[in-house]
Structure 1
Amino acid sequence: MGPITCSADFRPHHPLSPLTPREITASASILRSIYPANIDLQFKAITLHEPEKEQYLAWNNGEGPGPRPSRRAYIPYYIRGAEKFFESIVNLDSKEVESNIRQSSKVHGPADAAEIALVEKLCLEDEWVKAEIEKLKLPENMMVTCDPWTYGTDSLEDTQRQFQCFLYARPIDQPDSCHYALPLAISPVIDGRTKKITRIDALPTGNDFTTAHETQPWKPQPTNEYIPELQPKLRTDLKPLQVVQPKGASFSVTSDDASGTGKIMNWQKWRFRIGFNSREGMVLYDVFYDNRSLFYRLSLSDMNIPYGDPRPPYHKKAAFDFGDVGAGLMANNLILGCDCLGAIHYLSGYIADDQGKPVHKKNCICIHEQDAGIGWKHTNYRTGRAAVVRNRELVIQSIITVANYEYVLAWIFNQAGEVTYEVRATGVLSTCPIDDDIAPEDVPGWGTVVHPGVLAQHHQHIFSLRVDPAIDGHENRFVYDEAIPLSRDPKINPYGTGYVTKETVITNSCGINTDTEKNRRFIIQNSYKKNPVNGKPVSYKIVAPPFQKMLADKDSWHYKRCEFADQAIYVTSYRDGELYAAGKFTNQSHGGDGVRTYASREDNVKDTDIVVWVQFGINHIPRIEDFPVMPVETIRVMMKPVNFFDRNPAIDVPPSTQMFNRSTSLTYPQGVVKAVGNAKVGALVENSKGGCCSTSVEVSPPGSAGSTSEEEEDEDEDGGKEGEGEKGSVRHKETCSCGSIQEGQVGGEGKVGLRQKLGECCNVS
């Protein structure tokens, strides 16, 4: 096929910047131009096709001759109404279709927003489905809601694109009602091409595989709501907690190209590029700390949620939320003061709809700083001098809604050169009906009853983080070390207390599991760059929590389809285009594509360009407290420097002072602290020595000027004769390391009043 040209014109954009709305529109136009006008295309995505890494580095880093890489778009699409699925590459610089490959009939593209909405509509309007709903004999004030799911797989014969629809009841007048509290026992299946109902599954509602021969009348159950206005009462004792940055945030976000979609973040020696695409959502590129390279590309590559209910049709229930739909498609519009607190900067993105038109994803990423407690501290117990800094973090956050579930996804950077990826799972459990007369001891072991007539099935959340390292360069290796006890030896270990670490270098691509008994550490090294202090290779370690691997057996479709769920770590050689741990197309997939397949090549991964795939997860055994909405379940992966710096990189963070932080000292009631006798004053003064302030105390004897009687003190507390002198008081003066002075007065016999001026620095309470 020869080049297909178009009259579109473009200014140069950075090769890694997300596609602009104009580029999305032009990409669709260029692709359409190779077909007759009567052919209707259904676009599954129009997203950036990233340049070849070698070419990009030659252009970006001056590592060799080379022009700026061309801007390209990647487009998976269907010919609407036909079982013809293609993936195409469009060159936006040359305005031509570079490749256009038809996929096998067994390969299915992701669902899109319009398709999901259409499936839901057609399901509920189908006469067969309406007849079955009629048999449920729902009350007049109730209606049916439909959750379409990608079909999953239980056979190599599952080649037709299908959707499994789970139905629920809800009150007609409450569109935001939690319908997952009222699951129904019928489940239509719809053909993805013809959009016709092919069958209606009767769902098992007991403790075995038995299903009803005929749809039975629904037994009414109470609702169980999460929205605030439907609660009997909300708490009234919660006071505002406001994050205030009077001088603004410490980060800057700039754009270095004409597109405006490419964003560069600078914060506390960190510099990196923020991208956004329809499948992965947030992507980070060219991550540097203090002008030293750390990572070429960071992304959450894939996630899988396999369910543990063995009964059909639940045995197919396994969502690949990124591959089946897409994080960019499902990204929320984040709201100021709700999803992110403090001084917030928002980024928006663009994806394509099924017509190839750009869709604005407003405020899909929020950026802010947060205080994460103490960063480091030491107190010299001999002098009482404390040195302490706060741990300021930069958060790059997105939230996605996947039907019932929400995932709060965040990249977190700190001042000590550490990167954290955090997932917070929340939202509503995906539920199924269960007979409410089953005795507790007879409830099936693969779920938890969370509401009358409602079973929440066991399931796993398994994530794969793709780490493309560039630790002081792109020639890296992967090692793990283990803590090994020394054998007793009269010369080396006479008391049996010694232990050492043993390092293993991974030479060929493979999967590796954790070993908590040996404190196994996973480390990415640059063996060509040595630490100037100890001569060890500069490195970063990966700290991921142990998790239970895929529980489905190796012959199951759950296991075959989810190629990343069997190992804590996979190490592979870098190849352009290998971005997804479960393979490029996950919808009704059969396995054979993904990180397990990549690793099976046994490529060299020693001192070369490698990719590290980090798996982590949650085995969600539902509890009743997870319903009607689930408190966040948090899990983190950290990447920390190991012999990368010559000292603590956060050593130059300014010390924590009250003049800078402006905390307030709470006193009760009405600004008065009461204590018994001067022993309390002594404890107060002594305790202050351990902090950032040095303390001096001036004592005024009882009866001297500046003191009050107990009666006067009480009157002062009640009526406020403030400004009068106090009798029998201790004059308390605080001098902080920042140089400001705070004075207070403590006095009384039995009742002590503490007066504090609003000074520039320290408060004593």
Structure 2
Amino acid sequence: MPDTEQATSTGTHPLDPLTAEEISTARKVLVDAGKVGENTRFPQVLPVEPDKADLRDYRDGDDFDRQVILTLLDLATGEAAEAVVSVGRAELVSFTALTTGEHPYGQPQYLFEEYALAEQIVKADPQWQAAMERRGITDTSLAFAAPLAPGAFGRADEVGRRVIRSLTFMRNFVGDNPWAHPVEGLIVHIDLTEQRVIRVEDAGDVPVPSAEGNFDAEHVGPARTSLKPIEITQPEGPSFTVDGSHVQWENWKLRVGFNAKEGLVLNNVTFRDGDEDRSVLHRASVPEMVVPYGDTSSTRFWISYFDAGEYLLGKNANSLTLGCDCLGVIHYFDAFVADDHGHPVKIPQVICMHEEDYGILWKHTELGKKPEVRRSRRLVISYFATVGNYDYGFFWYFYLDGTIEMEAKATGIVFAGASIPGEVNPHAPEVAPGVIAPVHQHLFCARLDVAIDGPDNTVEEAEVVRIPTGEANPHGNAFTFRRTPLETERAGRRKADTSVGRSWYVTNPGRRNQVGQPTAYQLIPQPGPTLMAQPGSSVASRAEFATEHLWVTRFDPAERFPAGDYPNQHVGDGIGKWTEADRGIDDTDIVLWHVFGPTHIPRPEDWPVMPVDYSGFLFKPHGFLDRNPALDLPDGASGSAGEGGSCCSSPG
């Protein structure tokens, strides 16, 4: 985490990210109200989303009431509360105790200082020390006690307590990669409030792998010299303009937001059609992800990390670096989050924005005429977060033809255990001699608060349909398509099906295109498996959102996070509970929740650091526009076209 920084507010719009001044003001209001003591910490500080009606009425320069929602935790007692503060009025709006000791439980997100505390508790414990000595490890100064969210399993000594688990990894030397040296079978269960070990489990006598897994230049050796430079230049500068959080690029306009939980947020996304900026999305983000493991061992069966809800993706975001994370002519956005004590912390260059060439957008060669070809490019808005051993990149792409793409990039270090070299494990393949990596999933959930030409939208499920050979298909070649409206929330729980090309259209029944159809955008999934855990399992209850590829809900401002506001040690909350009401979702303000991501069976090529695993989806205009919106692109629109400025030439 970068150094704490005090700075003045620069927020000028209700959708701007929180400023340092606003975070400081919110904390001061709570201090003045007597709500902050020596042991008070702030696991989570987020902006309150502005009311949609207020946003519709807002005009640049209007006053607005910025509100902040803060989670407070008393380290001494474990008591937690949630406060809402108006920073404009410097006023405490509400203060509500969180019933973490009662069913269905739940705990605030982890503090950074709790990671160090957990390791301190582990290393001081005689049982842990004895377990290490039994393995022949007497010098534990280089041990790393990893702090890991415990899940929720109803154990009497954990229920209602603030618990964390710890697995141990070793280093061969200072700076060594500890993930390469797992101490298999040793688990420490910790009560963070009482600062004590609940119990220690010590199973098995698998040797600690000794081979190093370092991948930095110092240990890998000389870099290859065969790659020639690629230079990306824009001598006239980028095509986008930035005013605070507002971005305009070609026909696109949007506002870039950021918060400690979701990380990057996109607001008020519009596409210009003639003289009209037409609404596409009110808000888009990836507010949750779960990483469930498929291992049956006592060491790992309980692992199912909620990287937003338990750890905070935005708070763990990286400062990005030109030439490494981003190439080209870059615009960076800084962001402020709150540290454990509620003070503002600046993460510089947390969001990267740039343009990329993206090959051919459209092309045709007519007999006897010169080819007509236009190159594509895209606007890229991205950030990266590191949570423990894994690194996640979230990339939003905007294309000249009106398409939006979301791509998640998973990289970092696979979570390792130890085994007898060559021993077959159906749940954890061997990735290096004596090093196993369990099968697991990375299931992201995107939240698309859609607004296709306005707030009242409908979702239709589309499939291609085979027609049996007969009167309707005399030659056997015919097929057709079918679109079925999803009218209620229960009907809006859907799985993707590649065998019939299943996708979903978000339409506006109140607006028609030139061929008389409702204007629409199409959500095109790139489906993988949904949650592999069995119904009735702990993780299936806690991550119910991951059991479907699509959920459609009626908009409710309280429903922001698909696993609930506090999934840490919660037995189950969120979207499954909300949709039991089976509210109507036809021609109204709706939200799409789309689940995607890789199911990972680790391989040796993933070790010691994993090449990026890509997943995502497309959100594409389908009858939103009356024709191809990129007809007016100039020849050679992306990059140098050579002499004459054209990428086309007459046939010789």
TM range (shorter): over 0.9
In structure 1, what is the equivalent of residue 169 of structure 2?
Answer: 168
Instruction: Give the structure with higher Rg (CA).
Output: 1
Q: How does 1:331-370 map to 2 (within 5 A)?
A: 331-370=317-356
State the 1:226 CA deviation. Answer: 1.1
In structure 2, what is the equivalent of residue 417 of structure 1?
Answer: 402
In structure 2, what is the equivalent of residue 52 of structure 1?
Answer: 51
Q: Note the alpha carbon deviations across 1:416-448, whole angstroms, 9 max, x for none.
A: 001000011110001112123xx54xx220011
CA contact (8 A) 2:44 2:108 kept: no
TM-score after normalising by structure 1: 0.79
In structure 1, what is the equivalent of residue 5 of structure 2?
Answer: none
SS at match of 1:612: strand
State the 1:126 CA deviation. Answer: 4.2
SS at match of 1:292: strand
CA contact (8 A) 1:583 1:595 kept: yes
Cα distance change of structure 1 residues 402 and 219 upon mapping to structure 2, 3 Å threshold: closer
Question: In 2, distance between residues paired with 1:151 and 1:11?
Answer: 39
State the 1:59 CA deviation. Answer: 3.0
State the 1:223 CA deviation. Answer: 1.2
Q: How does 1:240-279 map to 2 (within 5 A)?
A: 240-255=229-244, 263-279=245-261
In structure 2, what is the equivalent of residue 116 of structure 1?
Answer: 115
SS at match of 1:565: helix
Q: Note the alpha carbon deviations across 1:248-288, whole angstroms, 9 max, x for none.
A: 11111112xxxxxxx01110110000000000000010000
Cα distance change of structure 1 residues 453 and 394 upon mapping to structure 2, 3 Å threshold: same
State the 1:33 CA deviation. Answer: 2.1
Aligned residues: percent identity? 31
Q: How does 1:602-613 map to 2 (within 5 A)?
A: 602-613=582-593
Question: In 1, distance between residues paired with 2:31 and 2:161?
Answer: 25
Question: In 2, distance between residues paired with 1:301 and 1:311?
Answer: 30
In structure 2, what is the equivalent of residue 16 of structure 1?
Answer: 15
Letter in 1 for 2:529: Q
Q: Note the alpha carbon deviations across 1:499-555, whole angstroms, 9 max, x for none.
A: 2222211111130112222222211000110001x1111000001112111111111
Q: Which moved more, 1:337-346 or 1:506-515?
A: 506-515
In structure 1, what is the equivalent of residue 418 of structure 2?
Answer: 433
State the 1:220 CA deviation. Answer: 5.6
Q: Which moved more, 1:95-104 or 1:39-48?
A: 39-48
SS at match of 2:429: strand
* 1:600 counterpart (580, 585, 590): 580
Q: How does 1:362-761 map to 2 (within 5 A)?
A: 362-380=348-366, 382-436=367-421, 439-440=422-423, 443-488=424-469, 490=471, 493-510=473-490, 511-532=493-514, 534-591=515-572, 593-656=573-636, 660-662=640-642, 692-694=648-650
1:199 aligns with 2:202: no
Structure 2 unaligned spans of 5+ = 1-7
Q: RMSD across aligned C-alpha pairs, in angstroms? A: 2.4
Q: Note the alpha carbon deviations across 1:686-707, whole angstroms, 9 max, x for none.
A: xxxx9712366xxxxxxxxxxx
Cα distance change of structure 1 residues 356 and 654 upon mapping to structure 2, 3 Å threshold: same
State the 1:219 CA deviation. Answer: 5.1
In structure 1, what is the equivalent of residue 215 of structure 2?
Answer: 226
State the 1:163 CA deviation. Answer: 1.1
Cα distance change of structure 1 residues 127 and 32 upon mapping to structure 2, 3 Å threshold: farther
Letter in 2 for 1:418: T
Question: In 2, distance between residues paired with 1:662 and 1:201?
Answer: 68
Cα distance change of structure 1 residues 167 and 364 upon mapping to structure 2, 3 Å threshold: same
Q: Which moved more, 1:478-487 or 1:37-46?
A: 37-46
CA contact (8 A) 2:152 2:570 kept: yes
CA contact (8 A) 1:481 1:522 kept: yes
Letter in 1 for 2:354: H
Structure 1 unaligned spans of 5+ = 1-8, 203-210, 256-262, 664-689, 697-765
Question: In 1, distance between residues paired with 2:641 and 2:111?
Answer: 47
Cα distance change of structure 1 residues 560 and 12 upon mapping to structure 2, 3 Å threshold: closer
Q: Note the alpha carbon deviations across 1:277-319, whole angstroms, 9 max, x for none.
A: 0000000100001011100000002100000012224221000
User: How many aligned residue pairs are there?
Assistant: 631
CA contact (8 A) 1:142 1:170 kept: no
Letter in 2 for 1:543: I
In structure 1, what is the equivalent of residue 98 of structure 2?
Answer: 103
